[in-house]
Amino acid sequence: MNIEDLKAKAMSDMSEIPSCFTQVNRKARKDHKCCECFETIQKGETYSYTSGVWDGTGQSFKQCTNCHEIIVIFPGGFTTRFFADLVALIS
C-alpha cells in the first residue's frame, strides 16, 4: 500500500473532532507503553502525549516517536483520527 492509499484510508476512517485537545512532547520519567505499536517507551525517551475529550469522554494517549512521526503524515493529523489504531490503518 502506497502513501496515497494510506491517506485515503485515513480519511475514510476519521472520527469526530474533539471538543478540547492538547498534544505535547514529554520526556518519560518511567516506562510507558505506546498505544499504537505497544512497544515500551523507555524512561528518558521522548514521546508524544495527547489528551482530549471525544464524545464527552476524556482520553489520553502516549505514542513513541516512530509512531508519532507516521501519524502526522495523515490528513487531519491527531484531531480527526482514532487513536490506538495505527496497525489497523496501515494493514
Phi and psi angles of residue 6, each rounded to the nearest 5 degrees, phi first: -65, -40
- What is the per-residue pLDDT for 5? 58
Grid-cell match 476512517, residue found:
13
Binned average pLDDT, 10 residues per bin, the chain of 91 residues: 51 62 94 93 96 86 89 61 63 59
- What is the per-residue pLDDT for 11? 45
The three-class DSSP label of residue 71 is: helix
Number of domains in the chain: 1
Range of the domain at 45: 3-90
For the chain, helix, strand, coil in percent to 5 are 25, 30, 45
Q: 39: which DSSP letter? A: -
- What is the per-residue pLDDT for 79? 46
Report pTM. 0.69
